[in-house]
Chain A
Amino acid sequence: MSEKPKLAMYWAASCGGCEISVLNIGDKILIVDEVFDLAFFPCIADFKHHDVEGYEDGYIDVCLFNGAIRTSDNEEMAKLLRKKSKVLVAYGSCAYEGCIPALSNLTTKDETFNTVYYENQTIDNPNRVVPQVETQVPEGTLTLPSFYNTVKSLDQVVDVDYYLPGCPPEPEQIWAVLEIVVNALLNDGPLPPAGSIVGAGNVAVCEECPLDKNVKTITQFYRPYEIQPEPGLCLLEQGLICVGPATRSGCGALCPQVGMGCRGCYGPLEGVDDQGAKMLSAIASVVGVGDSTDDEFELEEMIDNVMDSLADPSGTFYRFSMAHSLLERVKANGNGTNGGEVK
């Protein structure tokens, strides 16, 4: 038998959930094992950086890259794996569009370090030690990867062949994608065009969501802990933020069905540049305050009062897509009074 195709999976700035999601495909994992040889998979097998460096270019057939680009090490690994892989998949929301790590684009590196190394309640750091890129010790110089000010998605540092959204991607979607790849490798089956988003739907989450929608408008937003949602009814119409209208389907609307509004992890719909802006528009349509008979000068205040109950709009609407948003990050030390301030 000829040599098996090579599979790699690597984590950059991620939580490790993506690795687990691959194992979540159940007994299909045996087929993956049958078809592929692992070439690099730090989570489950012992491979080293120099092993990958030793491979010839294009040695890895499929590399599932998860995690955002937070440090120079992440970027270096992305570039190395790009060189060594025939097909590079941005696997999961972090690699695709920044995800939770990229929420720190709402602040700066210095602020992040302040919180993590000095100000957190549980931190005791009297000597104010923070990681340095270079440290002099008697034996020589020690180095650490540098920490970027801005979190980037994988495609902002290397070319990406496919995107598999989700936080993490759903098992059946993962398998559907792997099946296409396996079929292409073994039977010369067709591959989707490069740059495609695979393993996801083409409609909004709302289309998949079975909750009743009655086009009801609202006058106040609630956070999930504040109210017990009425079962069977659209959450957004109950005042609970649900990013379903601005989010790509593919998950089967799992979260809204158990009373938790969609967080938006499958990213924006086809043709949309900015998921947060689209959600903002959707919110403007469900707020029922203000009509054409109201006084012009009172309108803005009335609407503003409703928006008061919506905590942290940027963090909520861009929870997963900050790195891919139009503005990408906040302006630090803006020359206004609110530079980088997060409510």
Chain B
Amino acid sequence: MSEQQFEPVIVGFLCNWCSYRAADLAGTSRTKYAPNMRAIRVMCSGRVDPQFVLKALREGADGVMIAGCHPGECHYVEGNIKALRRYVLLKRMLKQWGIEKERVQLVWASASEGNLLAEAVDRMTEEVRALGPLRWRQAVLGGNGHKPVETAEVEVEVEEV
């Protein structure tokens, strides 16, 4: 047995029209990629409220991936551009909060780009693995006399792709 390595938990918000199908394609074409991303299907990357990202990080995720259609290909015309605008600002905010930029990533993957999505998940998993666990509640909030940590049930929705 090799020594136990840290397996990051990555929450992935995948848009229904492109990236979720890319994940589907990666699955049906038996592409091998890191099993660390837990996929959550949303109708559009523009549906990803920044609150979702912050909540995931707070509740135990080590990273969050938001994936949507390429610009110009959004099912709702410009939902992904809105997601990008939020992401750009969120990145600036996360920097202030001391959260490394690799932990929250935005990826464009169309329905035919299963390989591209798989590569992005592989790459992000390795980047987050190198950073180590985030453990926000325990590591950042825990020792400050905050609400006790025992309520820190890690609730990460998992959906099979």
Contact = CB atoms under 8 A, between A and B. Distances in A.
B89 A292 contact: no
Nearest to B88: A303
Nearest to A297: B71
B40 interface: no
A327 B136 contact: yes
Contact of A331 (B53, B72, B140): B140
B92 to A, nearest CB: 6
B97 A281 contact: no
Interface residues of B, number: 43
Contacts of B54: 274, 277, 325-327
Interface string B51-92: 101110110000000000011101001100110111011101
B34 interface: no
A332 B88 CA distance: 22
Given A156-B147, A281-B50, A334-B98, A329 B88 contact: no
B93 interface: yes
A106 B140 CA distance: 12
Contacts of A106: 96
Secondary structure at the B interface, as helix, strand, loop or mixed, is helix
Nearest to B95: A338
A304 to B, nearest CB: 5
A299 interface: yes
Contacts of B99: 331, 334, 336
B141 interface: yes
Interface in B105-161: 108, 131-132, 136, 139-141, 143-147
Interface of B: 49-51, 53-55, 57-58, 70-72, 74, 77-78, 81-82, 84-86, 88-90, 92-93, 95-101, 108, 131-132, 136, 139-141, 143-147
23 contacts: A149-B143, A150-B141, A150-B144, A156-B147, A273-B51, A278-B49, A289-B85, A292-B77, A292-B78, A294-B71, A299-B81, A303-B88, A304-B88, A307-B89, A312-B96, A313-B89, A313-B93, A313-B96, A314-B97, A325-B54, A328-B146, A331-B140, A343-B92
Interface of A: 75, 106, 148-150, 152, 156, 272-274, 276-278, 280-281, 283-285, 287, 289-294, 296, 299-300, 303-304, 307, 310, 312-315, 317, 325-343
* In the complex, the 6 A-B pairs of residues with the closest C-beta atoms, listed nearest first: A336-B100, A334-B98, A331-B98, A284-B85, A277-B50, A150-B144
